[in-house]
Structures are given as C-alpha cells and as structure tokens.
Structure 1
C-alpha cells in the first residue's frame, strides 16, 4: 500500500511541474529607427527659402543653431521670445514632421 501511495505522489508531483510552464511568445517585433546624423552649419549657410519659411511660420523667431544632414534636411534650433523649439525643414523651406 505504501508503494501505491508513493507512486501516486510521484506521479502527481511530476504532473504539477509541467503544469507550471508558461507559454513563450514566438512573435516579437523589433523596430529600428535610423536617425540621420546632423552636422552643425553657420546660420549664413542656411538657404534663403528656409529662412523665409521660418520668418513666415514663426514671426520674430531667432535662429540659434542650424544643422544639416546628407539629405539636405535642416534641423533648426529657434527661440521666439522666451520659448525655445526645434523645427525641421527641407532645402526648399517645406516643414518636415519628425
């Protein structure tokens, strides 16, 4: 009788070990964002179209720093009054959403 009870305990014990296994999700999505490197340029190197678009969209804005990447997209650090912002533009003065 002891052997039957011991066998039942061992059998139930091994079954409970397998019951605790959690399912592992095989689906995993990885998103990689490649950010273009910007290099700083002088404010004089910014095209006139970009400067005009800046003054039209943000009257009284002061260009603090300008950066450009290999696709001729401009990152502009500006200040309007006491507020600071970063805006992005292409070479033709069209605003980019990044």
Structure 2
C-alpha cells in the first residue's frame, strides 16, 4: 500500500510540471526608417565624370533616377537587365560604399 501512494505521488508530481504554464512575454520590435539627405535631381544634372564611370563599370546599365546630397555625392538608381539597384558616387566619378 505504501508503494501505491508513493507511485501515485510521483506520477501526479510529474504531471504538474507539464501543466505549469510559462509566462507570456510580448516582444515589441520597432523599425526605424532613416531618410538619407539625398534630393532627387534630373538625370541630365549628373556630372559627366559620374556617367562615364557608370558606362565603364556597367556598360548595359540604364540610369533611371539620380539623387544628390549636400556633400556632392550622387545616388544613382540603375537597371541592368531585369535587376535594379543603387550605386553611390562622388562628383569625380569615384565609387562610394553603400552606407
């Protein structure tokens, strides 16, 4: 009889650990969108050094939009085939790494 009570206590004790609930925590993720200080300009306003560097590096690229910041750096929206992307260049045509 003693073994029956001990077995029942062990079984019931083991079940209670599975029945306990873990606290629910809410994780809030905030996405912050930073705008760069580039202002859209006409594609014809891009310096010749930049367009020449673009033609040399990507001969099949089509320049769709251009942007300029206060440091005279240019953000170029280009398409090559079916792929689109951005390139960054200084006014002298040297490439700048994406920030």
Same-fold call, TM cutoff 0.5 = yes
Note if 1:39 corresponds to 2:39.
yes
Deviation at 1:74, TM superposition (A): 0.1
SS at match of 2:51: helix
Would you identify which runs of 4 or more consecutive aligned residues in structure 1 move more than 6 Å?
none
Runs of 5+ in structure 1 lacking a partner? 1-33
TM-score normalized with structure 1 length: 0.63
SS at match of 1:37: coil
Cα displacement string for residues 52-95 of structure 1 (whole angstroms, at most 9, x for unaligned residues): 00000001110010000000000000001111010000000000
Aligned to 2:55: 55
Instruction: Supply the RMSD in Å over aligned alpha carbons.
Output: 1.4
Deviation at 1:36, TM superposition (A): 4.4
TM-score normalized with structure 2 length: 0.62
